[in-house]
Amino acid sequence: MKRNLQIKELFLKNFDKPVTELKFKNLYELIVCVMLSAQCTDKRVNLITPDLFKAYPDIKSLANANLASLKSYIQSCSFFNNKAQNLIKMAKAVCENFDGKIPLNEKDLKSLAGVGQKTAHVVLIEWCGANFMAVDTHVFRVSHRLNLSKAKTPEATEEDLTRIFKDNLNYLHQAMVLFGRYTCKAKKPLCKECFLNHLCTSKDKEI
């Protein structure tokens, strides 16, 4: 469909090979950041992680972490109780099942505690440049406002976007995240400044 192709091209043109706003130095830090970022802002995660990574600099130290101590580092993060438990379980599984090396395929990543499809895809997108789509709240909102999907779940929305866009999914995912975060916001979207204004028919559109 011509309109969908125009949307794709405009995303790629306006966001030049975008990357996540999460700050990380290695694969271990990336997976921890992505797990913490679920239903939490990247800005908040970036405030938490410097002290967290000083205390637990690698997967082995995280696997051996004391739960209460770990919670104290991430308590300003949403759902920190669950996340702390999952981080330790994830790290233990990496040490026990993958010889201390974080796996880089979807199936093995999803076998880890706290790592669902979205988290696995974001890790593979950011670390490997994999041709995957990942749907967070921003991507879900943007894709529905632009009538790219009518699906009720993130997983089904991901299928729609993957089918429509086919390639450059890693860049399109991140472009849609940033677009949803700063332009096509949940409240008061910046429609007058939007480069997709002429293609948008959303009922939320502010004229």
Q: Over the stretch 51-65, which tens digit does the pLDDT of each residue have? A: 999 999 999 999 999
Instruction: Name the token pair of 36.
Output: 């913490």
* Res 154 pLDDT > 90: yes
pLDDT score of 20: 93
Report the sign of the C-alpha dihedral through residues 65, 67, 71, 74, in that order.
positive
Active-site residue, from 136, 188, 192, 204? 136
* Residues 91 and 63: beta-carbon distance below 8 Å: yes
206 has pLDDT over 80: no
Residue 136 is a catalytic residue: yes
CA distance linking residue 49 with residue 36, whole number of Å = 9
Q: Above 70 in pLDDT, residue 207?
A: no
pTM comes to 0.92
| pLDDT tens for each residue of 116-135 | 999 999 999 999 999 999 99
- Report domain extents, the chain: 2-18+132-199, 27-128
Residue 205 has pLDDT above 90, yes or no: no
- Does 3.40.50.1100 match the CATH number of domain 2-18+132-199? no
Residue from 8, 83, 92, 118 carrying the catalytic annotation: 118
Average model confidence (pLDDT) for the chain? 95
Contacts of 120-124 with C-beta under 8 Å, sequence gap 24+, read 121/158, 121/173, 122/20, 122/34, 122/173, 123/27, 123/30, 123/31, 123/34
CATH topology of domain 27-128: Endonuclease III; domain 1 (1.10.340)
pLDDT value of residue 152: 96
How many other C-beta atoms are found inside a 10 Å radius of the C-beta of residue 160?
Answer: 17
Q: What DSSP assignment string belongs to 151-199? A: -SSHHHHHHHHHHHH-S-HHHHHHHHHHHHHHTS-SSS--GGG-TTGGG
